[in-house]
Structure formats: structure tokens, C-alpha cells
Amino acid sequence: MIHAVLIFNTSGVPRLTKFYSTVHHSPQTLVQKIFSLICTRPAGLCNFLDAPELEEFLGKKQREDERLRVVYRSYATLHFVFLVDAAESELGILDLIQVFVESLDRAFENVCELDLVFHFDEVHHILAEVIQGGLVLETNLDEIDRSVKQAAQARKTSYASANPLSLGGSSMGQRSAGLQTPLGWLTGKLTGVGTI
């Protein structure tokens, strides 16, 4: 199971926090704890780490397949972090992070950190197309993209029907149109990732 999905920048500022399990203590402390685990890792290490010390936040795991792991990937100034138990394949999660990032990229048209700052609610919605209740709902990038666009279209339609005189609601594409990618997102993505 996926217990949490977190995005934070290289300064540890959270850009998205989503918990699928009850956190027994302050979520902010958990985020900081995970950030401290990630940011102290030197380059050249793998993208997985066992994190038994996090069990105190999510309840003690008795079974071996419930032991917690952190799977993360860094893109430009952002760390994408998934907290999972051993029932999830860490390699699968690593690919899932890539799928999630590419979904964001398609939805926001060259996504950058700023999109996450102003549209974290949209990021939540895109994440909901990928993960529901801590389980992977969809892993096909095209399928996720289709659902996200469909949802955006549905919102637009719904907005138009609720406001008959309007010229149409906002969509994610418009919101990010013309916005620079100050963090060199694509450069980071192309140079900083593993295989897919």
C-alpha cells in the first residue's frame, strides 16, 4: 500500500502532501523527517531506503510485508517521495513517480514548481487519477491524461451550465499558458531520471 505521497522542494517546503493512512502524530513533523532522510543522501545512491523509524508515525508494522520504505525521485528543484510498504514494488513505484510527473507535465504543459504552488488542488486531482485510497488505480499515462482532460472538460461544461452567460471556465492548460519554467523542469527531467 502507498501510505503517503509528498512533493517538497530542495529547501524542504512542501508542495503537495497526501496521506492515505492515518498519521498518529503531526504530519508536518513526518514531512520534515522524510525530508531530512532524503536531503542528507549524497548523490550516487539508489532511490529507495528503508525507513523503520517512520513506523511511529503510521503505526507499528508487525508483518515483514508492511515495513515502510521511502521511494523518491528528484527533478530539478523538487523531490517526489512515496512512502510505501513492502507490498508495493519499489521499482514499480519509481516508474509510477515518473508517470505522475509526466501526467503533471501534460496537464500543466511544461509543469514547474510554480504550478504546484498555485494549483496544488489540481495536482491532488491528477494524483487521484493515479492513486485512490493508497492503491494504484491507473498506471497508463495515456489513460491518466484522458481522464484528467475529461474531468477538466466536465468541469468546464459544469461551469458553463451553472453560469449560462459565461464564456467558459478556466482550464489547466490556460492557467499555465505562457508561464515560464523557471526551474528548468524539462532539463531536470531529461537529465535526472532513470529508465522508463
Partner 1 sequence: MEVPFTSSGAMSRAQYAFVRKVESATSPSEADQHILSEIEVVRRQLADPGLSLNQCKECLVILLYCAMNVSILPPGGMEFALPHAVHLAESGMTTQDKRLGYQFCCEMMPESHELQLLLVNTLRKDIESSQVPRICLALEALIHSPFEDVIPAVQSRLYDLLSHNSPDVRRRAVAALSALSCQEPSLLANATDNLMKRLKDSQPVVISAALIAAVHLREVRHASTDRLTKTVNALLLPSWDPNLDKTEYWFLLRVLGALAMFRPTEGNLRLILRIIEWTVNVESVSHALLFQCFQLISTRRAEITAIVRTSSHPSPILHIRSLISSTDPNDQYLVLACMECLDAATWAGTTPEIPGVLDKWEVERIMGLLESTDAAIRRKTLKVLKSADANIVESYHTRILQNIPEASFVEELSEAALRALEIIDAMSGTDGAAYATRLQSTLAAFEDRNENVVLERVVEQVLTKFRTSEDECRLASLTVMLDQLSDMSTRIGATSMVILTALIVEYFTKVGIPARKLLQGLATRLSVYPSSVKDACLLAMVRLAAESDVPTDVLDAVRGVSETSGRYIRRRCEQFVTLSAQRETVRSAVAQAKSSSLPDFLLALEASIASPASMSSRLPSSAFRPCSPSASRNFSASKLRYDAYEAPRPHSRLLRPTSPRSTGSSEYARRSPSVLTSPGSEGLALHEDPLARTVTAGDLTLAAGDPDLIRAAERGSKNQGELSNSVPDLLVDDEVSSMQGSDLIALESPFVSEPADLGSSVSSPDFETIWSDMERTNLRGWCDFSIDAVVRRLQGLQLAMRVIAADQLPFEGDLKIIISAEAGTLDQFRGAVLRLRESDDESCLWRLRCDDVQLRMQLKRLLSE
Which 141-160 residues touch partner 1, going by CB under 8 A?
A: 141-143, 147, 150-151, 154-155, 158-159
Interface residue with partner 1 among 37, 55, 110, 184 (CB under 8 A) is 55
Nearer to partner 1 by Cβ, of 120 and 186: the residue is 120
Nearer to partner 1 by Cβ, of 24 and 187: the residue is 24
Least Å distance, CB 189 to partner 1, is 16
Nearer to partner 1 by Cβ, of 61 and 186: the residue is 61
Contacts with partner 1: how many residues (CB under 8 A)? Answer: 73
Least Å distance, CB 75 to partner 1, is 15
* 94 lies in the site for partner 1, by CB under 8 A: yes
* 128 lies in the site for partner 1, by CB under 8 A: yes
* 45 lies in the site for partner 1, by CB under 8 A: yes
Which 153-192 residues touch partner 1, going by CB under 8 A?
A: 154-155, 158-159, 162-163, 169, 175-176, 178-179
Least Å distance, CB 52 to partner 1, is 4
Least Å distance, CB 74 to partner 1, is 13
Q: Of 58, 50, 73, nearest to 27 (Cα)?
A: 58
CB contact set of 171 (below 8 Å; sequence gap of 6+): 152, 155, 156
Least Å distance, CB 173 to partner 1, is 10
Q: What pairing do the DSSP bridges indicate for beta strands 78-85 and 2-9?
A: antiparallel
